[in-house]
Amino acid sequence: MILKKRIPNARGKRCMESMGWLIAAGKDEGEITLLHPFSGVQIQLPHPNTTKGYNCQLTADPWTFFHETVLSASPSKTSDYVLMVIEANNKYLSFWRPGDLRWTRIMKEDNPALHRDVVYFNGKFYAVQWLVHVLVRDVTGADPMAQKVARLPLDQIGDEVESLGSLFVVARHGGLSKSRIPMTPIPNDYEVYDDEVLGSDEQLTFETRYFRVYKLDIAAGKLTETKELGDRAIFLGANASLSVQASQFPGIKPNCIYFTDDRYDIYGYYQSE
């Protein structure tokens, strides 16, 4: 079903989704709100400049300061919820609770940054760091803590997804290749590659080539690779990952991964053709 609806308060903003709410970031000043797309209810969030070291961590545009957003519960149902975000150039984890006047960053002496994905599962936030660990983040106390749960193979960069009561890490493998197709005109504010690297009729193509899926055993601290998702279908994209029970949605195939091919920022880690 497709519903066409105007959402005036989302106009001109970058929107991320969690629990049916939009996290809407303004393009010019970076102001950010929680917005319910149907009721129109808005909840003002602290400005990104309330995060630690904001001026040293600026992204290219104010509205891209937050990379990913995940709610622990829907604000439509309770006022006892946490909004977790991956933020800034170094991809720290920060969170906000209703009533807070600023974002609280989760710091940890052993590599606190470079978070790739985060998901809320069984009352806790689980995060994946680039090339390193799966961690559990506990934000219930006054001093937010982080604990390592498992370690990814060294050549993996993963997304995290909760599915039918289990937690999975999906590692995406991609690469760079040169495509001999007509060059699309490039805007003046984009980086242009030297013709010595790319010929005038070539351009770089970033592409996903395959996935590896790991099931997380939290108690044992172990990731086990699997090729069987059963009736699950996993969706990966720019914001939070999710899964559905395929048999409940006509047209969705079981044991499949649906994705947007947008992870160009990690493909440079792999060999070019």
192-228 per-position pLDDT tens digit: 444 444 455 566 666 777 888 888 888 888 888 899 8
- Closest of 220, 66, 84, 231 to residue 160, by C-alpha: 84
Order the strands of the 21-26 sheet from edge to edge. 13-18, 21-26, 32-35, 42-44
Residue 131 has pLDDT above 60, yes or no: no
Residue 79 has pLDDT above 90, yes or no: yes
The angle at the Cα of 14, spanning 12 to 17, to the nearest 5 degrees, equals: 130
The residues that bridge with 44 in the sheet, in sequence order, are 33
Task: Enumerate residues 6+ apart whose C-beta is below 8 A from 46.
Answer: 32, 96, 100, 101, 102, 103
SS3 assignment, position 67: strand
Residue 152 CA to residue 147 CA, distance in Å, equals 15
Residue 89 CA to residue 105 CA, distance in Å, equals 14
For the chain, the 3-state helix, strand and coil shares in percent, each to the nearest 5, are 5, 40, 50
Q: Model pTM?
A: 0.78
**Cβ-contact 128, 169 below 8 angstroms:** yes
pLDDT band at residue 272 using 50, 70 and 90 as cut-offs: very low
Per residue in 231-241, pLDDT tens? 999 988 767 67
pLDDT band at residue 99 using 50, 70 and 90 as cut-offs: very high
SS3 assignment, position 52: coil
Tell me what pLDDT residue 243 has. Answer: 87
